[in-house]
Structure 1
């Protein structure tokens, strides 16, 4: 999608897309936190650490772990504006 394609999408549709991405990110974070708790993998101090603990337990590959940590960065930027 080029810049002109993005500009042609209504603000409402853009907001809807962003909201659904935020929800998907949060669901992934919640799942990682739940796995950490159920498996007693530790006490993460931030979302990215939960994915690290799940990876250390052998439940995530290195590449998926990197993607999840990047997703946390996107989530923080989209939700918390940093």
Structure 2
């Protein structure tokens, strides 16, 4: 019985071999080119966050879930 299972596994492994439509290195080069494109897009937009000066956040005591970053300034007003 074990030999039948092993024979079936051998036949299945031989039948499952599929040739790639392109060489493997072209798939890797395409993935590398995609990530290089993403890197250039990231570099192109690095200055977007520095166009305007930072604005101080107003502490609003009426918010339902106030952030805890005002360090108690909302209670002092």
Is the TM-score greater than 0.5? Answer: no
Instruction: Compute the TM-score of the two structures, normalised by the length of structure 1.
Output: 0.36
Instruction: Compute the TM-score of the two structures, normalised by the length of structure 2.
Output: 0.38
Larger Rg: 2
Structure holding more helix per residue: 1
Greater relative contact order, per chain length (Cα 8 Å cut-off, separation 6+): 1
